[in-house]
């Protein structure tokens, strides 16, 4: 699947000085450097499926915020979202490997949100990408 640009390209110039700290791209970093983030921690860590992981994490964060806004405990959220409390705990702790996109979108609906998936041709200046927008 195509990704949103290259993390190194988005990081900007490599060796900027900022109050005596050398800012570098990840492939040039040493123990005395601050690494410039690409905006996707999964890409910065070198995950092949970084874009997908970030989208899933963004969905999970949005669901957690919705649950917290409703004032539900994890037990109450599990009951209302038709799952187990340990699964909600995994969601809260970012352990998402056992939680599918289908499950996350189902929970959004149970939380009173509509889910729209749009597939479109990107502008000429854009790379094909995966994006999550929560409203």
pLDDT of the chain, 135 residues: tens digit per residue:
344 444 444 344 334 444 555 655 556 666 777 777 888 888 888 889 888 899 999 999 999 999 999 999 999 999 999 999 999 999 999 999 999 999 999 999 999 999 888 888 888 888 887 778 877
Task: Determine, yes or no, domain membership for 81.
Answer: yes
Pair 108, 56 in one domain = yes
Pair 77, 103 in one domain = yes
Task: Determine, yes or no, domain membership for 43.
Answer: no
The predicted pLDDT at position 21 comes to: 57
Pair 85, 118 in one domain = yes
The predicted pLDDT at position 28 comes to: 63
The predicted pLDDT at position 120 comes to: 84
The predicted pLDDT at position 20 comes to: 57
Tell me which residue range forms the domain holding 13.
7-38
Task: Determine, yes or no, domain membership for 1.
Answer: no
Task: Determine, yes or no, domain membership for 33.
Answer: yes
CA distances from 59 to 1, 5, 21, 66, 77 (A): 19, 21, 34, 11, 16
The predicted pLDDT at position 97 comes to: 92
Task: Find, among 30, 23, 26, the residue nearest to 40 by Cα.
Answer: 26
The predicted pLDDT at position 64 comes to: 97
The predicted pLDDT at position 27 comes to: 60
The predicted pLDDT at position 134 comes to: 77
Please answer whether residues 25 and 36 qualify as being in contact, where contact means their C-beta atoms are separated by less than 8 angstroms: yes
Q: Which residues pair with 16 in a beta bridge?
A: 23
The predicted pLDDT at position 15 comes to: 40
Total structural domains in the chain? Answer: 2
The predicted pLDDT at position 71 comes to: 97
């Amino acid at each position: 699947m195509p990704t949103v640009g290259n993390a190194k390209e988005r990081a900007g110039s490599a060796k900027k000085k900022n109050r005596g700290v050398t800012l570098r791209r990840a492939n040039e970093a040493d123990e005395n450097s601050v690494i410039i983030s690409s905006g996707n921690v999964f890409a910065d860590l070198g995950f092949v499926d970084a874009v997908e992981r970030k989208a899933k994490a963004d969905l999970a964060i949005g669901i957690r915020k919705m649950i917290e806004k409703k004032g539900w405990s994890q037990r109450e959220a599990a009951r209302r979202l038709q799952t187990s409390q340990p699964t909600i705990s995994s969601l809260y702790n970012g352990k998402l490997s056992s939680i599918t996109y289908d499950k996350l979108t189902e929970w959004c609906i149970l939380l009173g949100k509509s889910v729209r998936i749009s597939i479109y041709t990107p502008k000429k200046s854009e790379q094909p990408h995966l994006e999550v927008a929560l409203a």
